[in-house]
Chains A and B, each alone.
Chain A
């Protein structure tokens, strides 16, 4: 396989894993206020992701870094063309991280209420805007030889907003399942109930997205050339169905894993359709940014491949180990016992 193709797959995988992991952090952050009935419950909710959100966010840094190292031109164009949405995402992520850490340290109700709002918006805004950004990349950005012709408002086109809504719903469902799995008693029941409601809306929006993709983007061209790949969007829909089935049997562990697969498959539905582009141009195909005209040299790609193959499995191993250590449900007793809890 050519190194560019390998790195295209890795690039897609890094983003997909990032959305799969930080996705439930975002969902949990968005649901904190809706699901809680007391301050203890609020604390329980953020403490379910307390030990892991930081490690999850590093997948974003790595996805960004890998884009930089493997496809510098794509990195330069994507980040400078999408300047405003990325800036807003950045501010939101900063506020979210600080809010988690400082919420319990201020010592007043007003402080906690303010930081709960920060957690909500710090989770909602990136979910929405990552969706908007990827929706627009799927569609292609208005760029040609003279540069970029879009604005923040032109990104908010129907397909961009639809993809944003899809991301928000995917993460809400993901977060609700996570909380059903990680909390106890009434709180867990509320999460279970809500996950069922979100699921219905998510299914509708997901199908709408897959249909609208046929009209708003050229993503399906690759699928029509090689229908085998239709297995990916189908697997996305099937795993979304599995979420429902597992939920009915109250097997929330499996439902959560199915939700992970849904996110990966939906991201890859877009990635496969993009190939060999990283950012298509919506106005001039001559100026598509492809994995071949945007990549680093083979020497660099070889070194990066060695680094990734050597170290990413180690990362996955210790992250799984840490997830296993924190596998039990978070109870009021837990946050009572640990003074360092959020």
Chain B
């Protein structure tokens, strides 16, 4: 293995690990903010106990998201120095802005939220978790605008041997970045919804704290249904944007080899990469692929053979990643729809079978999110900045194979350890009964009621 491969592997390990924690933070922060607001406006203790119960799980997850995020910023300079030098003029800005406008807000107010229960008024306390939720999502916006620029570079010129920013607004309004932002945050909401429904299902099956967990389940079901629909809708537009701006990625997503108009969609498809064709194409829907690519059934879809071999991404992981993600996305719409119908007030309660399904579905949105990133990042290859800079030209020149091998081993070891601790703690605290006595804040609240 060479430095490029090892560095890519390290970036994959560290960013995929980071992205175990981010999506839950994006969605659960909003749900907790909603719960606490309901507590503040109604004085109903159940909402407070919900806030505390989910808040504890949120914090375990949040901490790992924060500490593993630093790695990503550092890595651009450490492992991808040529990339940083070449595009820092335009790519560095969104990262610096993210830290300044979003990350500060998030990290400062999470401290106030955790430690401030008895220090500030109930309203200010609820406001602080809203600020955390807002900042987390805002943080995602800047990061995905940065990533969107790598996918579809805009607002720059090549000057002085590097990419220089000439149009900041173009980067801010880059449709690729904005679509990716909405697709990503909605997928995070789906992760949070399934997390809450899954843990609630476990408690409902054991018939403990029925009121609290029924309420949590119901809230997450409607949140999850809305998010599943939105993530799919945005995903559809996102795919069309990919077809327009990254034809090689789109062709790999659907294993299209020949350019043609009115392209059909093959439900079953086995690619034969060596011979640049598909060995099996079955259950085809006429014109469907053209429709997905540009929302018009007769449109032309470009095939991989249109591009030199050196400019094509690996087909198998992109194809499999995309199909897996899309199939899971449809499953999420179905499950959240059933959950929504079953958990509406006064209707039949979700039965043990469905609860068990929801419990075991908990990891699925996590998998879908990871698959989505595989499509996005592997599909961009061999480019680090699509059409502008190749991944192989972007790596640090001064870093040796042994250094990257050692750091990759170190990250794998440390992150593996953190994963064990995280899973242990999440299991421990999600099985615990919510606190009956939620500390002095409840005592004061009871006196007020």
Do chains A and B interact in one complex? yes
A-to-B contact residues, CB < 8 Å: 47, 50-55, 57-58, 60-62, 64-66, 68-70, 72-73, 75-81, 83-84, 86-87, 90-91, 93-95, 97-98, 100-102, 105-106, 147-148, 296-297, 299-300, 303-304, 307-308, 311-312, 315, 318-319, 322, 325-326, 337-341
* Residues of chain B with a CB closer than 8 A to A51's CB: 111-112, 114-116
Q: Bound state CA distance, A296 and B79, in angstroms?
A: 20
B42 within 8 A of A: no
Question: Which of B68, B70, B85, B407 is close to A73, meaning CB atoms less than 8 Å apart?
Answer: B85
The 8 closest A-B pairs by CB, nearest first: A72-B88, A79-B77, A69-B92, A65-B96, A68-B92, A51-B111, A80-B81, A55-B108
Can you name the residue of chain A whose Cβ is closest to the Cβ of B108? A55
Asked whether A76 lies within 8 Å of B168 as measured between CB atoms, the reply is no
Within the complex, the shortest CB–CB distance from A199 to chain B, in Å, comes to 29
Can you name the residue of chain B whose Cβ is closest to the Cβ of A316? B104
B-to-A contact residues, CB < 8 Å: 52, 55-56, 59-60, 63-64, 66-71, 73-74, 76-79, 81-82, 84-85, 87-93, 95-101, 103-105, 107-112, 114-120, 159-160, 162, 164-166, 168, 396-399, 403, 407, 410, 414, 418, 421, 425, 428-429, 435, 438-440
Asked whether B63 lies within 8 Å of A308 as measured between CB atoms, the reply is no
Q: Bound state CA distance, A41 and B91, in angstroms?
A: 45
Can you name the residue of chain A whose Cβ is closest to the Cβ of B418? A98
CB within 8 Å for A54 and B110 given contacts A80-B79, A83-B396, A101-B60 = yes
Can you name the residue of chain A whose Cβ is closest to the Cβ of B119? A325
Within the complex, the shortest CB–CB distance from A123 to chain B, in Å, comes to 14
Within the complex, the shortest CB–CB distance from A66 to chain B, in Å, comes to 5
Interface CB pairs A-B, < 8 A, 28 = A50-B111, A58-B99, A61-B69, A68-B91, A69-B92, A78-B77, A79-B74, A79-B78, A80-B397, A83-B407, A87-B410, A91-B414, A94-B68, A101-B60, A102-B63, A102-B425, A105-B60, A300-B165, A303-B93, A304-B93, A304-B96, A311-B100, A315-B104, A315-B105, A318-B105, A326-B116, A338-B439, A340-B117
CB within 8 Å for A65 and B403 given contacts A58-B107, A304-B96, A339-B438 = no
* Residues of chain A with a CB closer than 8 A to B69's CB: 61
CB within 8 Å for A322 and B77 given contacts A76-B82, A91-B410 = no
Within the complex, the shortest CB–CB distance from B441 to chain A, in Å, comes to 9
* Residues of chain B with a CB closer than 8 A to A53's CB: 111
Within the complex, the shortest CB–CB distance from A24 to chain B, in Å, comes to 15
Question: Which of A52, A79, A338 is close to B111, meaning CB atoms less than 8 Å apart?
Answer: A52
* Residues of chain B with a CB closer than 8 A to A62's CB: 96, 99-100, 103-104
* Residues of chain B with a CB closer than 8 A to A68's CB: 73, 76-77, 84, 88, 91-92, 95-96
Within the complex, the shortest CB–CB distance from A252 to chain B, in Å, comes to 21
Within the complex, the shortest CB–CB distance from B114 to chain A, in Å, comes to 5
CB within 8 Å for A76 and B120 given contacts A69-B96, A98-B64 = no
Within the complex, the shortest CB–CB distance from A292 to chain B, in Å, comes to 12
Question: Which of B78, B93, B110, B164 is close to A83, meaning CB atoms less than 8 Å apart?
Answer: B78
Asked whether B96 lies within 8 Å of A94 as measured between CB atoms, the reply is no
* Residues of chain B with a CB closer than 8 A to A326's CB: 115-116, 119
* Residues of chain A with a CB closer than 8 A to B105's CB: 315, 318
Within the complex, the shortest CB–CB distance from A273 to chain B, in Å, comes to 23
Asked whether B88 lies within 8 Å of A86 as measured between CB atoms, the reply is no
Q: Bound state CA distance, A306 and B198, in angstroms?
A: 45
* Residues of chain B with a CB closer than 8 A to A60's CB: 70
Asked whether A307 lies within 8 Å of B97 as measured between CB atoms, the reply is yes
* Residues of chain B with a CB closer than 8 A to A57's CB: 70, 107
Q: Bound state CA distance, A93 and B397, in angstroms?
A: 26
A-B contact count (CB 8 A): 234
* Residues of chain B with a CB closer than 8 A to A97's CB: 63, 66-67
Most chain-A Cβ atoms within 10 A of its Cβ — which of B81, B87, B91, B96? B96
Asked whether A318 lies within 8 Å of B108 as measured between CB atoms, the reply is yes
Q: Bound state CA distance, A54 and B132, in angstroms?
A: 13
Within the complex, the shortest CB–CB distance from B52 to chain A, in Å, comes to 8
* Residues of chain A with a CB closer than 8 A to B399's CB: 80, 83
Asked whether B71 lies within 8 Å of A94 as measured between CB atoms, the reply is yes
Asked whether A101 lies within 8 Å of B111 as measured between CB atoms, the reply is no
Q: Bound state CA distance, A97 and B166, in angstroms?
A: 39
Asked whether B70 lies within 8 Å of A50 as measured between CB atoms, the reply is no
* Residues of chain A with a CB closer than 8 A to B107's CB: 54-55, 57-58
Can you name the residue of chain B whose Cβ is closest to the Cβ of A68? B92
Within the complex, the shortest CB–CB distance from A100 to chain B, in Å, comes to 8
CB within 8 Å for A307 and B84 given contacts A52-B111, A97-B67 = no
* Residues of chain B with a CB closer than 8 A to A77's CB: 81, 85, 398
Asked whether A70 lies within 8 Å of B92 as measured between CB atoms, the reply is yes
Asked whether B414 lies within 8 Å of A94 as measured between CB atoms, the reply is yes
Asked whether A315 lies within 8 Å of B165 as measured between CB atoms, the reply is no
Q: Bound state CA distance, A97 and B65, in angstroms?
A: 11
Asked whether A87 lies within 8 Å of B407 as measured between CB atoms, the reply is yes
* Residues of chain A with a CB closer than 8 A to B100's CB: 62, 65, 307-308, 311-312, 315
Most chain-B Cβ atoms within 10 A of its Cβ — which of A62, A77, A93? A62
* Residues of chain B with a CB closer than 8 A to A75's CB: 76-77, 84, 88, 92
Extra 9 A-B pairs, beta carbons < 8 Å, given A90-B74, A93-B70, A337-B439: A51-B115, A55-B111, A80-B399, A308-B100, A315-B105, A318-B108, A322-B108, A339-B438, A340-B55
* Residues of chain B with a CB closer than 8 A to A319's CB: 104, 108
Within the complex, the shortest CB–CB distance from A182 to chain B, in Å, comes to 13
Asked whether B396 lies within 8 Å of A296 as measured between CB atoms, the reply is no
* Residues of chain B with a CB closer than 8 A to A101's CB: 59-60, 63
Q: Bound state CA distance, A79 and B80, in angstroms?
A: 9
* Residues of chain B with a CB closer than 8 A to A307's CB: 93, 96-97, 100-101
Within the complex, the shortest CB–CB distance from B24 to chain A, in Å, comes to 15
Asked whether A322 lies within 8 Å of B112 as measured between CB atoms, the reply is yes
* Residues of chain A with a CB closer than 8 A to B397's CB: 80, 147
Q: Bound state CA distance, A62 and B398, in angstroms?
A: 25
Q: Bound state CA distance, A110 and B114, in angstroms?
A: 25
* Residues of chain A with a CB closer than 8 A to B112's CB: 51, 322, 325
Asked whether A297 lies within 8 Å of B115 as measured between CB atoms, the reply is no
Asked whether A300 lies within 8 Å of B93 as measured between CB atoms, the reply is yes
Asked whether B114 lies within 8 Å of A337 as measured between CB atoms, the reply is no
* Residues of chain A with a CB closer than 8 A to B403's CB: 83-84
Q: Bound state CA distance, A148 and B397, in angstroms?
A: 9
Asked whether B90 lies within 8 Å of A300 as measured between CB atoms, the reply is yes
Can you name the residue of chain B whose Cβ is closest to the Cβ of A71? B88
Asked whether B165 lies within 8 Å of A299 as measured between CB atoms, the reply is yes
Can you name the residue of chain A whose Cβ is closest to the Cβ of B111? A51
CB within 8 Å for A322 and B63 given contacts A297-B89, A307-B97, A307-B101 = no
Can you name the residue of chain B whose Cβ is closest to the Cβ of A327? B119
* Residues of chain A with a CB closer than 8 A to B90's CB: 300
Most chain-A Cβ atoms within 10 A of its Cβ — which of B69, B93, B101? B93
Asked whether A54 lies within 8 Å of B93 as measured between CB atoms, the reply is no
CB within 8 Å for A72 and B92 given contacts A80-B81, A147-B398 = yes
Can you name the residue of chain B whose Cβ is closest to the Cβ of A308? B100
Q: Bound state CA distance, A148 and B71, in angstroms?
A: 23
